[in-house]
Amino acid sequence: MGYQIQVASPDNPDIALGVSIAFDRPGVFDSLRDSDNQALNNLKNLLLTRIGERYNSPTYGTNLLNIIFEPNNEERKQDVIDAITGPVNHWLPYITLINIDVITAEDDPNLDHQITVTITFSSGYLEQTVGVSLDNAGGLAVV
C-alpha cells in the first residue's frame, strides 16, 4: 500500500508547511498553510540570522549586521545587496529577487546612522516586499 501525500491548505487545519516567526502572542506558533507566506517567513529568518549563528549550519545567514559598522558610503549599498543576494540564491533558490533598494544617509539625511533596505521578491505567483532596517546600535529589524 502506497503513502498518500496530504496537501497543506487553509481548509485542512491538520497539515501545515511550517510555523511563523512572529512571536507577538502567547501560546503556540501560528501555522503557515501556503507557500507564499512560508517563503516570506523563510526570507525573514535568513535575514535575521548571522553567519555562524545556526548550529550545524555555520554558513546559513547573512552578514548584514557586520555591514552596519562599516563607513556609510556608496560602496556600502553594493555590500548590502551582495550580503542579501548570495545567501538567498544559495539557501532559498525558490525565491526570485526582483529588486533590492538600499537607502543610506547620502540618499536621506534623516537616516544619519541607519540603512534601510526594501526587498521585492517572488516565490511563485505573488510578488511580496520585505523591509529591513539596520542601525548603528547593531539592531536589525525586518518588517
pLDDT category at 143 given cuts 50, 70, 90 is confident
Judged by average pLDDT, the poorest of 33-37, 119-123, 124-128 is 33-37
Between 105 and 116, residue with greater pLDDT? 116
Judged by average pLDDT, the poorest of 12-16, 28-32, 61-65 is 12-16
pLDDT at 25: 64
pLDDT at 15: 73
Q: Cell numbers for 35, please give them.
A: 507557500
Write the pLDDT tens digit of every residue in 54-96.
Answer: 889 999 999 988 887 777 677 888 999 999 999 999 999 999 9
Residues near 53 by Cβ (< 8 Å), separated by ≥ 6? 60, 61
Asked whether the whole model's pTM tops 0.85, one would answer no
Residue 1 burial class via C-beta count within 10 angstroms: exposed 0-12, middle 13-18, buried 19 and up: exposed
Between 142 and 14, residue with greater pLDDT? 142
Between 104 and 118, residue with greater pLDDT? 118
Strands in the chain per DSSP E:
18-19, 31-32, 96-103, 114-122, 127-135, 140-142
Per the prediction, the chain carries an average pLDDT of 82
Sign of CA dihedral 127, 84, 41, 101: negative
